[in-house]
Structure 1
């Protein structure tokens, strides 16, 4: 996995964190100073992780977390006091940051994402006949209406599923209902 967005109101702090992560083998990082730019980067690159401080130049980390797409996670770097008052479920590393703590936390989050993908892949292998029919119907509708090949229709469903954080069959059902309603 790659594509990590690092966002701090002071770009120098972000650059230092980026340097540490590069030393530990991470690639594909972007450093920015505003939450808006971070959101733009996440949406355009599909980044899976945003590392940030608690206060950005244009928003608080809780706002950034709320606006992130379902597939992206947030890692807060802040003082113990800020971490204690942060919303439940916020992944955080306390300042002063030690490289080992930061890297091990990111690797743990990355492994969690990987496990989640594996679980989804296993579930996909055990689809019911009803779910399989819904998926096939959605593909055929996409092929008819949008003149796509079966492979392109499958990729479209896959991308929509990943972008929305829904299962493949839920996405197929949504597409099927939307396209069937147009006809």
Structure 2
């Protein structure tokens, strides 16, 4: 379950939405009544959903949207006249009067979308630093020189050792370099 921040200028509206979410099994991370406190709450969380109103005492929802971390999505709840943005990334809007089932279905869809995005990010291979790439290249060069491997064979050898030992490619390259350069 992703983090949920409920932000409305009127505390009773925020508490009412929090109660609806709690009754439906959602956990609310924070309830705020200003834009600044909403942004502060989001900084302490890794990702999530902000359910908010249109206008706060210190800023508009669009300013919160502009400064919120990219890992967050916003659910704007406002009058039909107040909802202007239609095709904005990470912003979904529901018009007043609010229906509970619409709120819950929208929240479920947003939660699923954040979870999918996070899963895709974890599956993406991590970018290696220049130093790490250089170390892997040096290990391959040592294997090619000492064992007469081709570059592909050397790379596969490092990968296989990495998987067999349960270590990363860079760590395996370090071990190969330390063992083969000592001899």
TM-score of the pair, normalised by structure 2? 0.65
Query: Cα–Cα, structure 1 residues 37 and 135, in superposed 2: closer, same or farther, change >3 Å?
Result: farther
Distance 1:7 1:135 in 2: 45
Distance in 2 (CA, whole Å) between partners of 1:51 and 1:69 is 14
Separation of aligned partners in 1, 2:124 and 2:36: 35
Give CA deviations for 1:8-65 in whole Å, capped at 9, x if unaligned: 1101000000000001100143111100000111102335111111101110000010
Corresponding residue for residue 88 of structure 1: 87
Runs of 4+ that moved beyond 6 A: none
1:114 Cα shift?
Answer: 1.3
1:5–1:47 contact (8 Å) kept in structure 2: no
Greater percentage in helix: 1
- The alpha-carbon deviation at position 122 of structure 1 amounts to 3.0
Distance in 2 (alpha carbons) for counterparts of 1:119 and 1:20: 31
Q: Which whole-Å CA distance do the structure 2 matches of 1:80 and 1:136 have between them?
A: 53
Q: Is the 2:21–2:28 contact (alpha carbons within 8 Å) kept by the matching residues of 1?
A: no
State the number of aligned residues. Answer: 131
1:50 aligns with 2:28: no
Q: Normalized against structure 1, the TM-score is what?
A: 0.65
Superposed CA RMSD = 1.9
Structure 2: 5+ residue runs without aligned partners?
Answer: 134-183
Return the alpha-carbon distance in structure 2 between the equivalents of residues 78 and 135 of structure 1. Answer: 51
